[in-house]
Chains A and B, each alone.
Chain A
Amino acid sequence: GAVVSQHPSWVICKSGTSVKIECRSLDFQATTMFWYRQFPKQSLMLMATSNEGSKATYEQGVEKDKFLINHASLTLSTLTVTSAHPEDSSFYICSARIPGRSYEQYFGPGTRLTVT
């Protein structure tokens, strides 16, 4: 099956710093990737959809200048949380779609971000 990886699996950073999370499709090329955020005991909330080679589409209420998404290749998308605050602490999960198989999404293992 299709495999999506994320790195790092967990990260702790200080307030005001930036942190980058990588999402890779290991055995397929993903023209579309999704970034979700999940707070404890809450549902996954879609933050943005990124398409390779173009700007990401952000969901309402998500600050695009704070959550920078780059999808520079068909196997890699990155999410950079800029000027992180404690309220950004959350579980971030990426997902990738296989081209031509519209409704099949494969999810990464997630990244736990803690901002102190």
Chain B
Amino acid sequence: DAGVIQSPRHEVTEMGQEVTLRCKPISGHDYLFWYRQTMMRGLELLIYFNNNVPIDDSGMPEDRFSAKMPNASFSTLKIQPSEPRDSAVYFCASKGGGLANTDTQYFGPGTRLTVL
């Protein structure tokens, strides 16, 4: 299994630009999670999906952030417009559901975002 795949691994952009982060979960996993990691706030859950439907987006910081999951093998996290305080490492994770439900999440390698 290839594991959770994220792209790009690194992104440097200027304030005000749109940023799109991408994630491919492990095949067969029904849950997908987006996290943000910063030195100040640690690891924060932003949003998670079950069967492509957003279940809890209470961690999304503001309207500049949006996430979609158009199908079971792809999700995006978009920031528009980006601000320097959005600089962080963004992780995607997935886990199994249904009959194979498990509470173990599998993380991707992360996208390091720098907003200048």
A and B from one assembly? Answer: no
Interface residues of A (CB under 8 A from B): none
Task: Give the A-binding residues of B (Cβ under 8 A).
Answer: none
